Amino acid sequence: TQLLEQSPQFLSIQEGENLTVYCNSSSVFSSLQWYRQEPGEGPVLLVTVVTGGEVKKLKRLTFQFGDARKDSSLHITAAQPGDTGLYLCAGDTQTGANNLFFGTGTRLTVIP
Amino acid sequence: NAGVTQTPKFQVLKTGQSMTLQCAQDMNHEYMSWYRQDPGMGLRLIHYSVGAGITDQGEVPNGYNVSRSTTEDFPLRLLSAAPSQTSVYFCASSSHRGSRYTFGSGTRLTVV
């Protein structure tokens, strides 16, 4: 059973277009992190959101945490080829001793 | 450079063989985890540790063992390799629950 579902699974767009990636769950998370992973490397943290309704911006990337802390979105404005990669959301349920549960991932390709 | 070091980067095993994937971090992090990454499945937790001498099972622990004798090292042992264990394995560490995870660059394992 996957705790976090991401959509779309694959996304191919032209440079300059906007896009939104979604991360959904029926579980409540105390915090949610977004990572980007490039081929042959491990995921690298982009942002952590903690408060329901929180919005964080990282240059052209905008992250939002749902009011109920069950979902999140990542919006990229004017996508660049350097944005190409696998985007993963990861949530902490704060139940049990651990841990971070990862979503299924969205593979983004930005075509020059 | 400080970080998480995984070895080897690539490995091919025959069914039934055993091996150990090495993971070391030099950031004095208490939390360490092992994940496997399969297409369309995101990252799934195998085992984790909240400190030296303390380990616990994650989502997919069968066929794997871990130990944590020091803060720095967290090896993953495959007892009798099976084709279903063909995957990319990532080790990660964090200073405390909810903080950012730092990932190694992964070990690509193929079991034939």
How distant is the Cα of B103 from the closest Cα of chain A, in angstroms?
Answer: 5
Distance of CA A77 to the CA centre of its chain: 15
Separation between Cα atoms, residue A20 and residue A40, nearest integer Å: 25
Chain A residues contacting B via beta carbons under 8 Å: 2, 4, 6, 9, 30-31, 33, 35, 40-45, 48, 88, 90, 92, 97-105
CB contact under 8 A, B40 and A97: no
Considering CB atoms only, which of B4, B50, B103 is closest to A97? B50
Rg (CA), chain B: 13
What residues 60-89 of chain B have any CB closer than 8 A to a CB of chain A?
Answer: none
How many other CB atoms sit within 10 Å of the CB of residue A19?
17
How sure is the predictor about B99, in pLDDT bands with cuts at 50, 70 and 90? confident
Q: How far apart are the first and last CA of chain A?
A: 37
How sure is the predictor about A1, in pLDDT bands with cuts at 50, 70 and 90? low
How distant is the Cα of A45 from the closest Cα of chain B, in angstroms?
Answer: 7
Residue A97 confidence (pLDDT):
57
Asked if A105 and A47 count as a contact pair (C-beta separation under 8 A), the reply is no
User: Token pair for residue A39?
Assistant: 């081929």
Residue A89: closest C-alpha in chain B: B42
Residue B27 confidence (pLDDT):
95
Alpha-carbon separation of residue B43 from A38, A40, A61, B5, B52 (angstroms): 14, 15, 23, 18, 24
pLDDT tens-place string over residues B17-69: 999 999 999 999 999 999 999 987 789 999 999 999 999 999 899 999 999 99
How many other CB atoms sit within 10 Å of the CB of residue B3?
14
